Amino acid sequence: MRIADRVALVTGASSGIGRAVALRLAGAGARLVLHGRDQQRLADLAERTGGVAVTGDLARPEEASRLAEEATRLCGGVDILVNNAGVGWAGAFAGMAPADIERLVAVNLVAPMRLTRALLPAMCARRDGYVMFVTSIAGRTGVAGEAVYAATKAGLDTFAESLRLETRGSGVGVGVFVPGVVETEFFQHRGRPYERRSPRPLPVDRVADLLVRTVAAGGAERYSPGWLRLPVAVRGAAPGLYRWLAGRFG
């Protein structure tokens, strides 16, 4: 996928992986549409990258359609869509408020579907484009204390795989990026810090570099770090053993 002179829309660009990815896409010559909730951070990033900022909250049902329309109006269309925006919540499911459940499902799962639905037909008509979904290792394995978050990422994973099969031969690529623990503000926002000694959080710049390389290659799937394939493989081949290990070591 050629990145130079292409229009790339990045959601969740205010911070973390989204911001780092936007910087690398800009460095590769992309024209950027940056979406997020933090108006000042987006404005600063837009000034640095030469992109345009669209502030909004993807928890609102109408936001994905509005964003697609605004990106098309401002740039004439979108060639690369990075569905990165996501929210977390940590704690026992029994203590989770219904409003928090709905917000995670809306932002992590429904919004990427709506945004992709709004932009995909034009990509298919041009027979050119690429859609990237940032999921999580939690969606591949399940994580205690993050039941809803893991479920939304698993749903996004399956949606992306199905869409890839559906768009085969259309000229539009569909990719999934599966990160583990990344050094961002995510853990502060989810309500519980990351306290494990291992694995250590990866630098966000390294993760963003790998994601953009995956976009450029038109890749279908990439783990970061690569060894995350191992627990997924164990879970698939020996689910009983995996559950015992997960219960023992977390």
Write out the catalytic residue numbers: 149
One-letter amino acid of 43: A
Cis peptide before 179 (omega within 30 of 0): no
Show the tokens assigned to 6: 């292409």
Helix (H) or strand (E) holding 35: strand 31-36
Q: What is the 3-state secondary structure (H, E, C) of 103-148?
A: HHHHHHHHHHHHHHHHHHHHHHHHCCEEEEEECCHHHHHCCCCCHH
Which residues make beta-bridge pairs with 72?
Answer: none
Q: How many whole angstroms separate alpha carbon 57 and alpha carbon 164?
A: 27
Instruction: Name the strand (E) or helix (H) holding 188.
Output: helix 186-189
Question: Nearest 5°: phi and psi at 54?
Answer: -125, 110
CA–CA dist 140, 155 (Å, integer) = 10
Q: How far is CA 250 from CA 101, 143, 184, in A?
A: 23, 8, 21
